[in-house]
Chains A and B, each alone.
Chain A
Amino acid sequence: MSLSSIDATLLLASLIVAATPILLAALGELVVERAGVLNLGVEGMMITGAICGFAIAVQTGSPLVGFVAAAAGGAALALLFALLTQVALANQVASGLALTLFGLGLSALLGQGYVGIKPPPTARLDLGPLSDLPFVGRVLFSHDPVVYVALALVGAVWAFLKYSRAGLILRAVGENHDAAHALGYKVVRVRILAILFGGACAGLGGAYISLVRVPQWTEGMTSGAGWIALALVVFASWKAGRVLLGAWLFGGVTVLQLNLQAAGAAIPVEYLSMSPYLITIVVLVIMSFDKSRAPGSLGRIFHASQ
């Protein structure tokens, strides 16, 4: 066993890359759930974003346009969910599951002409002297822009929910939609906006896999990342900071276990393989022993007449 062959700098740098897709998707879902909606279609929106982003990036040659298209694609699929659950008042669990199946099929169809094509490379953001700093420069300041967008989004979501009036309204809608309605807030409108935001984030996360992390298009390539993002939101007690922690833990342990295997660590591979799930759950469950709980109206259908 030669642990010295693991380079901590590179490990931390790949941790951040591995965590970004689930971080984006989980942040979106966090806002959706804080508005009282349970959207189980994250996986479907992610894979749709992955192919929309990939296809548009290939067509236009610009990864930036690709990411915008990915967000639009994810949001478009989310709009379908919003129409079903907020207008037609369909069951949220069933609609979410259907959305995942639909997204997987739709992406396979859209992606037929894109197998084996290379996307335009996403450039690293040039942060000048910061990127040249030893250690920190490689770990924190030499990534592509989407990584920083995701990190900025963590701060933005946290501040929005905690300090802004709009965030307070969104939380009120999620905690008790009847009371929020009685106060004159537009419950359905707030929720639809939250669902669209969630879809856009999931789409971005999916495109990060197809444009940066892998980068190529293969059917079913998100292979379960959406479900992990969903679980992360719950274990993170619906708090943006903890979602970041959970995503880094999960991404970190995933990368670390692969590195340990490659270094020939004397730990059975089966334990290493399950370690990302186990460690993330254990840490976040221990942290959630405070008084945090799910939004009061989570998953309940709202109709103004009731």
Chain B
Amino acid sequence: MSVTRLLTSAALALGLASAALAQDKTKVGFIYVGPIGDGGWTYEHDKGRLAVEEHFGDAVETVYQESVPEGADAERAITQMALQGADLIFTTSFGFMDPTLSVADKFPDVKFEHATGYKAAPNVSTYSARFYEGRAIQGHIAGKMTTSNIVGYIASYPIPEVIRGINAAYIHARKVNPEVEFKIIWAYTWFDPAKEADAATALIEQGADVILQHTDSTAPQAAAEKAEGVITFGQASDMAEYKPRPRVSSIIDNWAPYYIARTQAVMDGTWESQQIWHGIDEGMVEIGEITDAVPADVKAEALAMKEAIATGEYHVFTGPLKKQDGSDWLAEGETADDETLLGIDFYVEGLTAEIPQ
């Protein structure tokens, strides 16, 4: 055996070995829209990532990039992660939808999972949680507890997910309190603590004594805490540091089981593109502890509603419901189908504001 041949085979063996090693370790990437310390949306996704690391130990390596802006720069960030050899990439904001699909097209062997979007591909799955189920419970508590009958709502962007949440909260607040009025501020950001705090303050100054938020930081909680007698709800994360007041309950996104299951699927080679939308029933949406600031009977009703939603006995969007313009949407006893809900772009009757176009 000549020296050259020996070296070649040695190199070949080494190459095979390292390839095998690389195959052993599944690389999972995460693209975040905010910093992992936002205490809300991104914080919960990162908890899911840590759960993946803990569950699989050395078999998995995770990487993440935080504060990735929605738009052109997102494509660069996702591409970079794919080039680094990620086998599975979770892109965790609505605005990453088109960048994800465009990168997925260039990397057919990499699996992608896009959160809260509606476009899929052979190697792109979408996953989202039925946050509106939690919003309904918040609406119920808000309608019961408001004394000024004004509920403030800090919205982020006019996309179906946010509009769905406003509708769900409003329907259930009005059901228990026909006098209730919603004041809505569009922040046009997912994360800007100073602006979120200002928005909360503006709403409180205009008489709101309940603040609902669809932005990611805990700043509105801090602003509400400074005011007297205002209640809030944790968004995306428990925000437990503001218990028992102003935060009286919360919607918690629990991504960990899903992230672990999908990572497992990639390792087993059983990963397939799917579009899933899980709610309270599957445990992707959790309702954080309802504190003692809420009267016992209201708390009991809220928990009963949670139970009814979980068992499928009650659907949050059950007719009779009309659209804002007065036209019929759902007849008596009819429930909204997922397709309508996923693309919802109208308010229900009674909301006075307009959706920005």
Q: Confirm or deny: A273 has a beta carbon within 8 angstroms of a beta carbon on chain B.
A: yes
Cα(A118)–Cα(B222), bound, Å: 8
Beyond known contacts A14-B202, A218-B39, A262-B202: 14 more, CB 8 A cutoff = A117-B241, A214-B197, A218-B193, A219-B36, A223-B194, A254-B198, A255-B198, A258-B202, A259-B202, A261-B186, A261-B202, A262-B203, A263-B206, A264-B183
A225 and B194 in contact (CB under 8 A), knowing A219-B38, A262-B152? yes
Q: Are A216 and B222 in contact (CB under 8 A)?
A: yes
Q: Confirm or deny: B188 has a beta carbon within 8 angstroms of a beta carbon on chain A.
A: yes
Q: Confirm or deny: B217 has a beta carbon within 8 angstroms of a beta carbon on chain A.
A: yes
- Set of chain B residues within 8 Å of A118, measured between Cβ atoms: 222, 225, 241
Q: Are B185 and A261 in contact (CB under 8 A)?
A: yes
Q: Confirm or deny: A306 has a beta carbon within 8 angstroms of a beta carbon on chain B.
A: no
Residues 68 to 116 of chain A near chain B (Cβ within 8 Å): 108, 111-112, 115-116
Q: Are B356 and A268 in contact (CB under 8 A)?
A: yes
Residues 1 to 28 of chain A near chain B (Cβ within 8 Å): 5-7, 10-11, 14, 18, 21
Over the window 176-208 of chain B, the binary record of Cβ atoms lying under 8 Å from chain A Cβ atoms (1 yes, 0 no) is 000000011110110111110111011101111
A11, A216, A225: the one contacting B219 at CB < 8 Å is A216
Q: Are B223 and A14 in contact (CB under 8 A)?
A: no
Cα(A53)–Cα(B14), bound, Å: 54
A11, A214, A222: the one contacting B222 at CB < 8 Å is A214
What's the tally of chain A residues with a CB closer than 8 Å to chain B?
Answer: 40
A258 and B185 in contact (CB under 8 A), knowing A14-B205, A216-B222? yes
Q: Confirm or deny: B37 has a beta carbon within 8 angstroms of a beta carbon on chain A.
A: yes
Q: Confirm or deny: B16 has a beta carbon within 8 angstroms of a beta carbon on chain A.
A: no
Q: Are B206 and A270 in contact (CB under 8 A)?
A: no
B35, B39, B198: the one contacting A258 at CB < 8 Å is B198
- Set of chain B residues within 8 Å of A11, measured between Cβ atoms: 205
**Lowest 3 A-B CB distances belong to which pairs?**
A219-B35, A258-B202, A269-B356
Cα(A79)–Cα(B39), bound, Å: 32
Q: Confirm or deny: B67 has a beta carbon within 8 angstroms of a beta carbon on chain A.
A: yes
Q: Are B39 and A255 in contact (CB under 8 A)?
A: no
Q: Confirm or deny: B218 has a beta carbon within 8 angstroms of a beta carbon on chain A.
A: yes
Q: Confirm or deny: B84 has a beta carbon within 8 angstroms of a beta carbon on chain A.
A: no
Q: Confirm or deny: B352 has a beta carbon within 8 angstroms of a beta carbon on chain A.
A: yes
Q: Are B39 and A116 in contact (CB under 8 A)?
A: yes
Residues 197 to 247 of chain A near chain B (Cβ within 8 Å): 209, 213-216, 218-225
Q: Nearest Cβ distance between residue A116 and chain B, in whole angstroms?
A: 4
What's the tally of chain B residues with a CB closer than 8 Å to chain A?
Answer: 41
Over the window 59-72 of chain B, the binary record of Cβ atoms lying under 8 Å from chain A Cβ atoms (1 yes, 0 no) is 00000000100000
Q: Confirm or deny: B353 has a beta carbon within 8 angstroms of a beta carbon on chain A.
A: yes
Please indicate which of the listed interface residues A7, A115, A117 has the most CB atoms of chain B within 10 Å of its own CB. Answer: A115
A residues with a Cβ closer than 8 A to B are: 5-7, 10-11, 14, 18, 21, 108, 111-112, 115-118, 209, 213-216, 218-225, 254-255, 258-259, 261-264, 268-270, 273
B residues with a Cβ closer than 8 A to A are: 34-39, 67, 152, 183-186, 188-189, 191-195, 197-199, 201-203, 205-208, 217-219, 222-223, 225-226, 241, 352-353, 356-357
Q: Are B37 and A218 in contact (CB under 8 A)?
A: yes
Q: Are A262 and B183 in contact (CB under 8 A)?
A: yes
Cα(A266)–Cα(B301), bound, Å: 37
Please indicate which of the listed interface residues B35, B38, B202 has the most CB atoms of chain A within 10 Å of its own CB. Answer: B202
Q: Are A221 and B194 in contact (CB under 8 A)?
A: yes
- Set of chain B residues within 8 Å of A273, measured between Cβ atoms: 186, 188
Q: Are B199 and A258 in contact (CB under 8 A)?
A: yes
Q: Nearest Cβ distance between residue B209 and chain A, in whole angstroms?
A: 13
- Set of chain B residues within 8 Å of A213, measured between Cβ atoms: 194, 197-198
Q: Are B219 and A6 in contact (CB under 8 A)?
A: no
Nearest B residue to A216, CB-CB = B222
A111 and B185 in contact (CB under 8 A), knowing A216-B219, A262-B202, A270-B356? no
Q: Are B193 and A223 in contact (CB under 8 A)?
A: yes
Q: Nearest Cβ distance between residue A71 and chain B, in whole angstroms?
A: 20
Nearest A residue to B192, CB-CB = A223
- Set of chain A residues within 8 Å of B198, measured between Cβ atoms: 14, 18, 213, 254-255, 258
Q: Nearest Cβ distance between residue B235 and chain A, in whole angstroms?
A: 14
Nearest B residue to A268, CB-CB = B356
A6, A14, A216, A270: the one contacting B193 at CB < 8 Å is A216
Please indicate which of the listed interface residues B38, B197, B207 has the most CB atoms of chain A within 10 Å of its own CB. Answer: B197
- Set of chain B residues within 8 Å of A259, measured between Cβ atoms: 202, 205-206
Cα(A149)–Cα(B136), bound, Å: 46
- Set of chain A residues within 8 Å of B217, measured between Cβ atoms: 218, 221
Q: List 22 A-B contacts (CB under 8 A).
A: A5-B206, A18-B198, A21-B194, A116-B241, A117-B241, A209-B194, A213-B198, A214-B219, A218-B217, A219-B37, A220-B191, A221-B193, A223-B189, A223-B192, A223-B194, A264-B183, A264-B353, A268-B357, A269-B186, A269-B188, A269-B356, A273-B186
- Set of chain A residues within 8 Å of B193, measured between Cβ atoms: 209, 214, 216, 218, 221, 223
